[in-house]
Structure 1
Amino acid sequence: MSVTSTKKALLREINCAYVPVTDPAVSAEWYERVLGLQLRSPVKPGRGAIMIMGGGQWLFLLPSPGMTPLTFDTTGWAEDDELFEMFPLCFQTDDIQALHASLIASGAWTEAAIRDEGGCGFQLDFKDPDGNKFQAWQPPAGQGD
């Protein structure tokens, strides 16, 4: 289907996301402590955890035997068709500086510096303890409110 299609989009937004983890209870503690997400209910053995983001969306942390992190290689993101380890989810944040500081304090893998992408805002790639790669994005002032 072409980009200029007039068909109404049948998908509106992402309501929740599912993230593979080694141990949902351990991951839930990290997501709560480092990212400030709220645990919806106690984690039951063998079951996943539901984390609530600031906008109310749910992030499910599900046990994954043989754990394969959320990440993939692509040539469609980097300059000169270089191979890039891509993040499948990009989260919006209101305070990318505080997020970066919290990630560093936790010892998580994160980029050394926040990238200022001008009109696209500020961006930061990071990984959770299981190696799931994400991006955080803070829109420029006056956008994304």
Structure 2
Amino acid sequence: MNNFIKRVGTTYIPVVDPEKSSKWYQEMLGAVENFRNDVKAILEFADQSFFLVKAQVGERSSFFDSYQQEHFTMTFEVDGIEQLTEFHEFLKKKEVSVGEIEDRGHPGNNFVFHDLDGNVFDVWSELSPTFKVK
């Protein structure tokens, strides 16, 4: 077994308007913008770097699973059910498209939300054990 890869450093998200999307991510997710031009915005949040890359209208980071349901490619973690509920309510008040909080049969609860461009993300109420240690 090799242990070369230590972490995910950057995630790329397709957006139509990097400036508008950057402002949305800053307001909704607490992102910090480190750079922006006409074709991309570089953000920092959730201990990671995110590039919002200008893409064609309709491009999404999600895919359709074997049940023909749109599926997210990323799950954000919060620290407990209280934070999950608070974040869910915050997004709803900001009129973000959010799903219901659900029990998926594993520890914790989840919900999904969409950004301005229709990219779907998941939120989980449990921090990963290795992240808790850090």
TM-score class, shorter: 0.7 to 0.9
Q: Percent identity?
A: 26
- For structure 1, the residue ranges without an aligned partner over 5 or more in a row are 1-6, 76-81
Partner of 2:60: 69
1:124 offset after TM fit, Å? 1.2
Alpha-carbon RMSD: 2.1
CA distance in 1, matches of 2:43, 2:86: 19
**Is the partner of 2:64 in helix, strand or coil?**
strand
Partner of 1:79: none
2:113 aligned partner, one-letter code = F
- For structure 2, the residue ranges without an aligned partner over 5 or more in a row are none
1:138 offset after TM fit, Å? 2.1
1:88 offset after TM fit, Å? 1.0
1:53-92 counterparts in 2 under 5 A? 53-55=45-47, 57-75=48-66, 82-92=67-77
CA distance in 2, matches of 1:119, 1:66: 36
Partner of 2:18: 24
Q: Pick the structure with greater CA Rg.
A: 1
Q: May I ask how many residue pairs the two structures share in their alignment?
A: 128
TM-score by length of 2: 0.82
Indicate yes or no: 2:84 matched with 1:96: yes
Partner of 2:2: 8
1:101 offset after TM fit, Å? 1.8
Structure 1 window deviating more from structure 2 (128-137 vs 62-71): it is 62-71
1:120 offset after TM fit, Å? 2.4
1:37 offset after TM fit, Å? 1.2
